[in-house]
Amino acid sequence: MVAVSFLSWTAPAGAQRREMQLLSDAETEHTIRTMARPIFQAAGIDAESVNIVLVNDRTLNAFVAGGQNIFIHTGLLLQTDAAQLLGVVAHETGHIAGGHLVRGSDAMETAFLSSLVGMGIGIIGGIASRNAGAGMAGMMLGQHMAERNFLSFSRGQESSADQAGLSYMERAGVSASGLLTFLDKLGAEEPLTTDREAAYARTHPLTRERLDSVRSFVERSRNTGRALPADVVEHYQRIQAKLYAYLEPQGALNRYRADDQSIVARYGRAYAYFRRGEVMRALPLVDGLIQQEPKNGFFHELKGDLMLQNGRAPDAVAPYRKAIELAPDSAPIRVSLAHALLEQNNAKVADEAIRNLQVAAKTQQGQSTFLWRLMAQAYALKGNDGMVAYASAEEAFARGDVPVARFQAERAERLLPAGSPGWLRAQDIRGQVDKPRKP
C-alpha cells in the first residue's frame, strides 16, 4: 500500500483545497540530473545541489521554487521527448541562475511552497512500490495555487530565462531545438486547451517575441542538428515507461506489448505487473533485465521491491545490498534496504538498518517521515528509548505535527545524554516548533 502523508495549512477563506502529490524515484531523479548535468555545469551550478522533484499531475508544467529545486509534473515527462525535457530544464535553470522568485498572492503561499523543500520532497521509496515505504506524499494546497498569478514569472523574466538557458545549452554542446519544438507545441495547442491544461503556458507566459528569439538562436547555433546520444534517449524512455506503468498499469501493458523485447518495453511490463500485484509475472522480466545489465543498480532495486512486496523481506536484502553497491548515493534504496531488514524484527540487523538510514538522512531526502519511522523502529529493537523519542520527534517534525514533535523532542532531551548528537538535534527541533510565528 502506498504511504501518503498530508501536510495541511490554512487556506484563505473560500479557497477550495486540493491535493498535491509528490513522487520520489531514485532512478528518475538520477536520470534527469545526469541528462542535465552539462547544462547545470554551464550555468555554474553544482548538479548534486539541484533537487529534482516529481509532481503527480497530468498537466504540462515545471517550475522552480525554494532555491535550487526544479518541480516537474508527470504530465511533462510523459508528453515530451528527451530533447524537449532538456530544453525545459535549461529554461528553469535560467530562472535559478537569474535568482527569479516565484510570485505568490501573499507571503504565506511562498513560504509554504518553500517548506516543501524541507518537508515534502524527501518521501523515500520507489514510485512503483506499494509497501509502506513508497515514494508519495500528499500536500494539501489551496485551489488558488492554480490561479494565474501564482508561480508565474514576468515576461521579462521568461525571456531572460530563455536566453540564459539557450547559452547554457550552447556551451554544453546541446541542441536547443528541443526547447523550440516544445514552445511551438505550446503555441499550437494553447487555443485548444482548458485553463487547467494550459498550466505551463499560464505560469510561463508565451509570447511571439519569445518564440521568434528562440527560433533565431536555433537557426544560427552550431549545435543545431546534433542529436542526443542514443543511451541518453533510451534511459529517458526507460523512466517514461516506469512512470507510465506506475500511473496506468493496464495502459502500459497495452503499449509495451509482449512481442516487444526491447529493454524499455520489458521494463514497462515489469513495472506494470508489479503495480497489478502480479509479482510472479514481473520477476522473470526483472531477472532477464539483470542478466542483460548486471551493473544496473535500479534493476536490482526493482527485484528487491518485488521480494519485499511479495512478503519475502529476507530475500529482498541481497538485491537491495547489490543495488546500493552499484548506486551508493541513492538514499531511497538505502531506506528500502532498512525496511527489508526491519521487517524481520530481529535486533541483529538493527545496526545495519541504522547505518543506511543515517546515510540517507544526510541527504535532502532525509526529511522523509517514513525514514524516521524506520529509525525509531530500529532503535526500539536495540532498546534505546532516548533515540526512539528523537527519531519520533524527527518524524513528527517532517510531517508538520507540532504537538507531537514538541512532546517527543522534550522526551528525547530527558532521556539522552546532554550534548550528544540526538540531544542537540532534539533541542533544535523544539526550538523550531516553539519559534514565535511572524504576524
The answer to the question of residue 189 being in a domain is: yes
Can you tell me the distance from the alpha carbon of 190 to that of 172, in angstroms, rounded to the nearest whole number? 30
Number of domains in the chain: 1
Can you tell me the distance from the alpha carbon of 422 to that of 434, in angstroms, rounded to the nearest whole number? 18
The answer to the question of residue 146 being in a domain is: yes
| pLDDT of amino acid 154 | 67
Span 144-150, mean pLDDT?
38
Contacts of 91 (CB under 8 A, 6+ apart): 161, 162, 165, 179, 204
Tell me if 375 sits within 8 A of 354, measured CB to CB: yes
For the ranges 129-143, 263-277, 396-410, the maximum mean pLDDT occurs at: 263-277
Cα–Cα distance list, 4 to 20, 123, 246 (Å): 11, 9, 15
| pLDDT of amino acid 63 | 85
Could you tell me which of 23, 404, 8, 431 has the C-alpha nearest to residue 239? 23
| pLDDT of amino acid 51 | 86
Can you tell me the distance from the alpha carbon of 415 to that of 418, in angstroms, rounded to the nearest whole number? 9
pLDDT tens digits for range 383-412: 999 999 999 999 998 888 889 999 999 999
The answer to the question of residue 14 being in a domain is: yes
The answer to the question of residue 200 being in a domain is: yes
Task: State which residues form the domain around 111.
Answer: 6-220
More confident residue, 150 or 182: 182
The answer to the question of residue 155 being in a domain is: yes
Burial class of residue 230, CB neighbours in 10 A (0-12, 13-18, 19+)? exposed
| pLDDT of amino acid 200 | 62
Tell me if 282 sits within 8 A of 305, measured CB to CB: no
Which amino acid is residue 78, in one-letter code? L
**pLDDT band (50, 70, 90) for residue 208:** confident
The answer to the question of residue 98 being in a domain is: yes
Output the domain CATH number for residue 134: 3.30.2010.10
Q: C-alpha dihedral over 420, 424, 430, 433, to 10 degrees?
A: -140
